[in-house]
């Protein structure tokens, strides 16, 4: 069957319907870190998913916006670490997800150690995975990485912090900052997706 490739922005009514679908799921927040040439960085992601059911060949998929400081470190090192957070570790989300590491050291004062693969690990988080990039896809706004998981560990058993919990408990000032960052990233991503689609046909 012939079908038309989507090009422009979705009709606002359909946007609302789609938003309601997204509202039904509450994804965990992943703290992503990477390092290269003595520089380290990290950000918060919801776009991280288990991508293999083979226990001996674990894989993750991660989507990283190309404008992020951490993107450059993952590109250069081909490695990253993922952390799940305890539900009271919202301070780490504001620190890593509410500002860019281009002009600030997000790790300042945090106890860290090196993962077996050389990525920075933040100690006292709920869990971590050490990842090695096997493949990458450019999608305009994001680079989507398929990564082999080489090691991991937990510090106990608990429900990880989710996006829903974060927003439900956000102080008004943090919420405003996050909304402003989100709006800025959304505008950058929209332009990048439209440009990408104009150059790609199935």
Ligand X SMILES: Cc1cc2nc3c(=O)[nH]c(=O)nc-3n(C[C@H](O)[C@H](O)[C@H](O)COP(=O)(O)O)c2cc1C
Q: How many residues bind ligand X (CB under 6 A)?
A: 21
Count of helices and strands (H, E) across the chain: 5, 9
Distance separating alpha carbons of residues 120 and 32, to the nearest angstrom: 9
Torsion sign (Cα): 112, 171, 47, 51: positive
1-9, 62-70, 75-83, 148-156 -> range binding ligand X (CB under 6 A): 62-70
Distance separating alpha carbons of residues 82 and 37, to the nearest angstrom: 20
**Radius of gyration for the chain, computed over Cα atoms and rounded to the nearest angstrom:** 18
192 contributes a contact to ligand X by CB under 6 A: no
Could you tell me which residues come within 8 angstroms of residue 186 by beta carbon, excluding any fewer than 6 positions away?
Answer: none
163 contributes a contact to ligand X by CB under 6 A: yes
Residue selected from 28, 35, 44, 81 as contacting ligand X according to rule CB under 6 A: 44
Q: How far is the CB of 3 from ligand X (least distance, A)?
A: 28
Q: How far is the CB of 182 from ligand X (least distance, A)?
A: 7
x-or-dash string of contact with ligand X, 79-118, rule CB under 6 A: ------------------x-xxx-----------------
74 contributes a contact to ligand X by CB under 6 A: no
Encoded tokens for 202: 């199935």
170 contributes a contact to ligand X by CB under 6 A: no
Torsion sign (Cα): 73, 75, 80, 82: positive
Our CB check for ligand X shows the closer of 16 and 175 to be: 175
Distance separating alpha carbons of residues 35 and 152, to the nearest angstrom: 17
45 contributes a contact to ligand X by CB under 6 A: yes
11-19, 40-48, 50-58, 116-124 -> range binding ligand X (CB under 6 A): 40-48
Q: How far is the CB of 11 from ligand X (least distance, A)?
A: 25
């Amino acid at each position: 069957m012939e079908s038309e490739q989507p090009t422009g922005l979705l009709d606002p009514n359909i946007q609302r319907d789609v938003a309601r679908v997204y509202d039904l799921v509450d994804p965990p927040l992943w703290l992503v870190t990477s390092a290269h040439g003595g520089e380290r960085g990290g950000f918060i992601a919801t776009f991280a998913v288990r991508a293999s059911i083979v226990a001996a060949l674990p894989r993750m998929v991660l989507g990283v916006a190309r404008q992020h400081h951490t993107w450059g470190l993952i590109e250069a090192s081909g490695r990253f670490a993922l952390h799940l957070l305890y539900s009271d570790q919202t301070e780490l989300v504001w620190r890593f997800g509410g500002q860019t590491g281009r002009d600030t050291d997000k790790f300042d004062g945090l106890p860290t150690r090196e993962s077996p693969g050389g990525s920075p690990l933040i100690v006292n988080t709920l869990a971590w995975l050490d990842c090695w990039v096997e493949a990458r896809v450019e999608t305009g706004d994001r680079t989507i990485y398929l990564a082999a998981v080489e090691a991991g560990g937990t510090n106990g058993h608990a429900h990880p912090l989710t996006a829903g919990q974060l927003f439900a408990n956000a102080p008004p000032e943090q919420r405003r900052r996050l909304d402003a960052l989100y709006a800025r990233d959304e505008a950058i991503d929209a332009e990048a997706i439209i440009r990408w689609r104009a150059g790609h046909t199935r």
